[in-house]
């Protein structure tokens, strides 16, 4: 298993985000514990798995967006 593990600061540098933004907004909403990151030895430090983050960044979303019919026959992809 040759995975690349990154700290929050290293991930922020690769993604060009602020590390505070990653911790406050992306954790547990976009980045899921056990898939994208883990806490070694059950401690406070977080290590991110770069391969899974990179894979999910380039994958297409699987969510079907609703089509909203408009009055003149058009469709809004909402």
The 10s digit of each residue's pLDDT in 20-69 is: 999 999 998 899 999 999 999 989 999 999 999 999 998 866 666 677 88
pLDDT of residue 17: 95
pLDDT of residue 42: 87
Residue 36 tokens read as: 């994208």
pLDDT of residue 59: 83
Q: Which helix (H) or strand (E) holds 77?
A: strand 75-77
Residue with tokens 């798995």: 49
The CATH architecture annotation of domain 1-78 reads Orthogonal Bundle (1.10)
d(CA 69, CA 5): 46
pLDDT of residue 23: 94
d(CA 70, CA 78): 11
Residue with tokens 């898939």: 35
pLDDT (mean) for 4-22: 96
């Amino acid at each position: 298993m040759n995975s690349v593990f990154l700290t929050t600061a290293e991930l922020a540098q690769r993604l060009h985000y602020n590390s505070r933004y990653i911790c406050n907004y992306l954790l547990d909403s976009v980045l899921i514990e056990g898939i994208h990151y883990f806490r070694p030895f059950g401690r406070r430090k977080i290590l991110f798995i770069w391969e899974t983050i990179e894979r999910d960044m380039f994958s297409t979303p699987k969510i079907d967006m609703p089509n909203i019919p408009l009055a003149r026959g058009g469709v809004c992809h909402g």
